[in-house]
Amino acid sequence: MNRVQSTYSFRMGVLGAMAEARFAARIDALALKPKHVGLMLALETGGPAVQLDIARRLGVAPSLVVSLADHLEALSAIQRVRDQDDRRRQLLSITGEGRRLLGECAKLAAELDEELTEGLGEAEREALDGALRTLAARAGLPT
Amino acid sequence: MNRVQSTYSFRMGVLGAMAEARFAARIDALALKPKHVGLMLALETGGPAVQLDIARRLGVAPSLVVSLADHLEALSAIQRVRDQDDRRRQLLSITGEGRRLLGECAKLAAELDEELTEGLGEAEREALDGALRTLAARAGLPT
DNA sequence: TATTGTTATACTCTATAACTATA
DNA sequence: TATAGTTATAGAGTATAACAATA
């Protein structure tokens, strides 16, 4: 008989929520939430973009991008530049401070990785890494 | 240089949120949310329990257990029985209907697993399964 | 008229605090 | 007085809808 708790979906959902909660706790000191990191990451890897594009890439409502961008702009982590050819558009781009913050986040995430994968052997850890990389790429996450 | 997007924490968080959202969409037709499944699972694997214990095991507030249990009771998926030795306590236990619903959830989760791991080779899939099983056990998830 | 961004509003999820009943 | 459960209230996060500026 199949059991819910032995599916990839269930374990991934629960372990993923744990990982996100603990990552969120760590970046809280930087005044960031996971979604802010996602937005900065989209700009870093995809280059400057208008808000509606970001909303599509992140899979969130355009109105949410407004508040995320407001917050990041207040932190000087991104810039909003009005497009002179089409003045309705705001071009978002990451700043040096944004890159610095992403670096801090990377450090914290790497530390967290150590804790989270503590129970795994080296081979198991590499296998997990490989599988997650494949799935992330297939899901369209930034590489 | 370290990149956020190549950490286990980041990938796990994003992929886990995707998995949960898609699982939630599938069980919606059964009038269930992921937390309802978690509660039934706790009763199925741990046996009958009082509400405060469930709250601790699920890591949620006792008041949330009330509404989750109300809903599951209305579906006849669980039973609440007043403890005669200590009439403040309600003993929650899963019913036949609850087990049937868990079976449906398992079927839906297994189907979803197929979709989610579509891009993986057999070896990669098994490696992922092994690593997630280890991590789930270490995190105290039901086995 | 259509589109981009913004603001106003509402909904979902969940926690904290106040309350009821039992102990 | 302490504990189990419940109800009332509040906050975070996010979406939908109305709106303003520009095309």
Note the pLDDT tens digit of each residue in B65-78: 999 999 999 999 99
pLDDT of residue A93: 98
Q: How far apart are the CA of A80 and the nearest CA of chain B, in angstroms?
A: 23
**Of the candidate ranges A44-48, A76-80, B138-142, the one whose mean pLDDT is the lowest:** B138-142
Q: A–B: how many Cβ contacts below 8 A?
A: 200
Mean pLDDT confidence for B111-128? 94
Find the mean pLDDT for residues A89-112.
Answer: 98
Does the pLDDT of residue B2 top 90, yes or no?
no
Percent of chain A at pLDDT exceeding 90: 97
* Minimum-distance CB partner of B11 among A17, A22, A141: A141
Return all residues near A79 (Cβ < 8 A) that are at least 6 apart: A73, A92, A93, A94, A95
A119 has a pLDDT exceeding 90: no
What mean pLDDT is reported for chain A? 96
Distance from CA of A35 to the nearest CA of B (A): 10
pLDDT bin (cut points 50, 70, 90) of residue B87 is very high
Q: Is the CB of A82 under 7 A from strand C?
A: no
Lowest-confidence pick of B19-23, B65-69, B82-86, B119-123: B119-123
Q: CA of B28 and C1' of D15: distance in angstroms?
A: 19
Mean pLDDT across B82-108: 98
Average pLDDT over every residue of A39-66: 98
CB contact under 8 A, B132 and A11: yes
Tens digits of per-residue pLDDT, B3-37? Answer: 999 999 999 999 999 999 999 999 999 999 999 99
Strand C contact at CB of residue B64, distance < 7 A: yes
Best interface-test mutation with B: which of A1, A8, A36, A120 has the largest number of B CBs within 10 A?
A: A8
Q: How far apart are CA B141 and CA B134, in angstroms?
A: 10
**Residues A124-142: tens digit of each pLDDT:** 999 999 999 999 999 999 8
Closest CA to A77 of A111, A107, A20, A38: A38
Question: Rounded CA gap, A103 and A97, in Å?
Answer: 10
- Give the model confidence (pLDDT) of A3-24 as tens digits: 999 999 999 999 999 999 999 9
Q: Is the pLDDT of residue A107 over 80?
A: yes
Cα of B78 vs its chain's centroid, Å: 15
Residue B1 has pLDDT above 90, yes or no: no
**CB of A62 lies under 7 Å from some atom of strand C:** yes
Q: How far apart are CA B11 and CA A16, in angstroms?
A: 8
